Amino acid sequence: MPGLWLATITGMTPLEIVMVAFTAWVTVSAVMYLRSGEWREDYLWLRVLKRKGLGWQAVVVAPLVLLLTLVVGLWLMQVGGPILRFTWLQLLAVPGERVEGQNLMTAGLRIPWFIYLFLPLLMLNVPRFARREEELFRAGVRGWSAGAWSCLKFGLMHCIVGVPIAFGLALAIPGAWFLAHYWRGGLRRSTAVHAVYNWLILGIAGGYLVVAPLLVASGPK
């Protein structure tokens, strides 16, 4: 099989190669973004969070939206069978290799020690990624018919970076929340809320991946 041949030659499986490639691309892109100074404009967009009530929504409602998304995604994984559990990363696996659906944009978080560099870079780039997704999926959307379609596209777009179909569908939920904010305050508002939501996810995932190895290392020998 091509996968086994590639694993023998490089010492890595095709899946590992893709993860490393994505990590390298995201890292270089993140550093170039910070060096360019473009981050200043994106962070200015976050000033909208100072509006009365918006900061509260971002801090309190975001965890609820995340929880609902996780519950729906896990439920779809259970009832949807192999179809909704599918991620194209499964096509790269060699026999015996365990494949978990994931967002390849965060693959660097799984690399020991490198996570301490990658996580801060990713966190600093959150407003950029949020702004680009808002411009792509929310700008100009009017009415719930077009809105529902844009939310579905937003969710399923994440399947391109390895998210299982079930969670791609579930991500329409935060997409709808961002859209509601877009209708109330434009791209600046939806981008700010989107950034807070992504920071919440990275904070939880990154915190766990950083702390867990330290707990294991300090445990009983």
The mean pLDDT value of the chain amounts to 88
Q: Sorting pLDDT into bands at 50, 70 and 90, what band is 166?
A: very high
- At residue 57's C-alpha, the angle toward residues 204 and 167, to 5°, is 50
**Which residue in this structure is represented by tokens 């965060």?**
106
**Overall residue count recorded for the chain in this entry:** 221
Phi and psi angles of residue 63, each rounded to the nearest 5 degrees, phi first: -60, -35
* Predicted local confidence at residue 53, as pLDDT: 75
pLDDT tens readout for residues 10-59: 567 888 889 999 999 999 999 999 999 999 999 998 999 888 678 887 88
Q: How many CB atoms lie within 10 A of CB 34?
A: 14
Q: Are 115 and 109 in contact (CB under 8 A)?
A: yes
Q: Please tell me which residue, 203 or 217, carries the higher pLDDT value.
A: 203
Condensed to tens digits (0 to 9), the pLDDT of residues 124-144 reads 999 999 999 999 999 999 998
Whether residue 5 has pLDDT greater than 50: no
Which candidate, 119, 113, 82, places its Cα nearest to that of 99? 82
Give CA 102 to chain center in angstroms: 9
Tokens matching residue 1: 């099989």
pLDDT of 212 reads 62
